[in-house]
Structure 1
């Protein structure tokens, strides 16, 4: 299996509901390094897995919708705890749609799985990995 990873970053604000979150129930900021890993069993005729530039553009489009936002006010996240794990899953779904729609170029249509990893710090991160939905 071949893989190719692109990365970017976002800064968000959010809060969590539930006693188990302690002080994180208050609005707080988070900065994430976001990594998107695309996987395919074979390369295209030019020996590419995906067009790196197209992958970076699609990732940035997805992140632009939440970058520098208070996630508590984003309508599509209403009623959700926007945990790191939740955000990984959300970004994965949007990247899967980009693959299926051909926005990563013809070679991108061979992508079978995506892993999205968000790093909160050098010591803590979460990921979601699944086949292209």
Structure 2
């Protein structure tokens, strides 16, 4: 399996429901470094997994929809704890939608999957992987 990874970051405010979250139940900020991995079994006719420039731009656009937002105010997240794991899935699913819409070019049609890792600190991260 071949893969390329592109990286960006975003900043949010949010709070959590549930005793397991302790002080994070209160409104707080988070900055995530995001790695998006695009995978395919064989390289395309150009010898690449996907256009890195397009992948980087699309990741930036997806994260731009979340950046500097209070996620508690976002209707799409109503009733959800916007945990790092949850947000990794949101980013992966939104990137997958863009792949299917052709935003990553014709070469992206052969992609097998996407993995997204959100690094919330230098010691902790959460990931989500999905097929395309």
Q: TM-score normalized by structure 2?
A: 0.97
Q: How does 1:1-133 map to 2 (within 5 A)?
A: 1-132=1-132
Runs of 4+ in 1 over 2 A off after TM superposition: none
**How many residues end up aligned between the 2 structures?**
132
State the 1:13 CA deviation: 0.5
Q: In the aligned structure 2, how far is the partner of 1:112 from the partner of 1:70? A: 33
Unpaired runs of at least 5, structure 1: none
State the 1:106 CA deviation: 1.2
The CA deviation string for residues 29-51 of structure 1, in whole angstroms up to 9 with x for no partner, is 10100110000011111101101
Q: In the aligned structure 1, how far is the partner of 2:34 from the partner of 2:113? A: 17
State the 1:7 CA deviation: 0.5
The root-mean-square deviation of aligned C-alpha atoms, in Å, is: 0.7
Unpaired runs of at least 5, structure 2: none
Give SS of 1:23's match: helix
State the 1:114 CA deviation: 0.6
> Does the 8 Å CA contact 1:43/1:107 hold for their aligned counterparts?
no
> Does the 8 Å CA contact 1:36/1:114 hold for their aligned counterparts?
yes
Q: In the aligned structure 2, how far is the partner of 1:82 from the partner of 1:23? A: 15
Q: In the aligned structure 2, how far is the partner of 1:20 from the partner of 1:48? A: 44
State the 1:21 CA deviation: 0.9
